[in-house]
Every structure is written in structure tokens, then in C-alpha cells.
Amino acid sequence: MIETRVNLRTIRSFVRREGRMTKAQRRALTGLWPAYGIDSESLLDFSTLFGRHAPVILEIGFGNGEALSATAAAFPQNNYLGIEVHRPGIGNLLLQLEKQGLRNVRVICDDAKLVLRERILPMSLDAVYLFFPDPWPKTRHHKRRLVQTDFVQLVREKLKPAGCFHIATDWENYAHHILQVLSHAEGFKNVAGAGQYAPRPDYRLLTKFERRGQKLGHAVYDLIFRTEK
């Protein structure tokens, strides 16, 4: 059963925009969740969860799941843990996983901060992906942006030595903010060099929304940082 917990004492970096859910997505949330979903609130044992030892990559906010399912299919040697609070998007991802017969993805419907803090062991992740997070463009809402110093240090605690933290955004102002936060964060090094953005790596597959943005001339900024060895 999908259930999202919310800590009312903290500033939330997301808004649950449920939107329209198709019958297929609704069926997937019921019928496919037992195969891919995680309900337990205990610490996660990835080798047991996936039934094998393999690199574990966490994607926060996978949207409709298009990119996550495609990435999992392209890199079957990796295990992928996706966190999302948008249930129609989760339903869509589950449908894609079943259609492609993928078994290297597991899904959690919850606040990413809570999951990182309470359910993921230190130094257990090989990479954390945060692609196109909500930019909260209005100045008065900047405090809601997920990428802040405390969150970055939480990610660092969960990454293995030389682990990768990869963020992509198409909001220039947010990109500058992220670059500043990560550049001053203890224990991280910019793969592209000080003050630089990285070229898009092959593993970050283009989505139809990004391709549409490219046609409109929208720039995308990739920031790739690694923890110290």
C-alpha cells in the first residue's frame, strides 16, 4: 500500500500534484506495487531487496518514470532505487517496468529527505541522481529548494567514497545556486573543475520533455560532484 508521510515541522521541497490518474496507472499501483514497491520503514538492505550485490543508484523525483525505466534497461548491471511522491508517475513507471520485464528497480513513495535520513545506511549508495527538481522560481520560495547545505551533507553521508551526486536543471538561477552550495560543501569535488558545469553524460538519457526544451533553445545544466575517496 502506497502511503506518503509528511513531517509538518519541516519546510517541504515538493507539492503533491496528484493530477489525473489513468485506470492502468491505478491498476499498476495495486497489482504491481508488491513486486516493485517498498513499504517497510526499516533500514534498507539492498542486497536482500534486489536479490544480488550490485551498484545502487538512487534517483530522487523520477517524475513519470520514463527516464528511470530507460536507464535501468540500458544499464542492467546497476540497481536503481526511485523515490517519488507523484502517484500517477509511480503508476506509469510500474507499467514500464512490467512491460520491459525489468527487475533492477525498486520504488518508494515518500519524502526523499525522510528516506535518506531514516532508511538508507551510511556509505551504501554509489550515486544519487536529482534530475530537474522543482526550481521554486519565486524568490520567497527559494527556501523550499531541495538543494541546500543540510541536504547536500545528508547525501554525502549516504554515498560511498568517490560516490557521485549528479544534478541537472534547466533553470539557470537554480543551477547557479546549486553550484555555489556544492562548491562550498565539505567532502565534495566538482568533476568538471571548479566553477564549471559538466557535459551531459551518456547515462543521463534525454526525455521527450528535454528534447522539446532543446528545440525551444532551453539550456540544461549538469552538475556532477564526487565525494572524497
Contact predicate 126/57, CB 8 Å: yes
Alpha-carbon radius of gyration of the chain: 17
SS3 string of 116-144?
HHHHCCCCCEEEEEEECCCCCCCHHHHHH
Strand 56-60 relative to strand 79-83, pairing = parallel
Question: Could you give the angle at which helices 112-119 and 149-158 cross, rounded to 10 degrees?
Answer: 40
Annotation says 134 is catalytic = yes
Catalytic site residue from 39, 45, 126, 134: 134
Cell of 195: 566553477
Max Cα–Cα distance, the chain, nearest Å: 48
Q: How far apart are CA 68 and CA 73, in angstroms?
A: 9
The three cell numbers of residue 84 are 517519488
Task: Please enumerate in sequence order all residues whose Cβ is within 8 A of that of 45, keeping only pairs 6 or more positions apart, or say none.
Answer: none
- Which residues form the catalytic set? 134
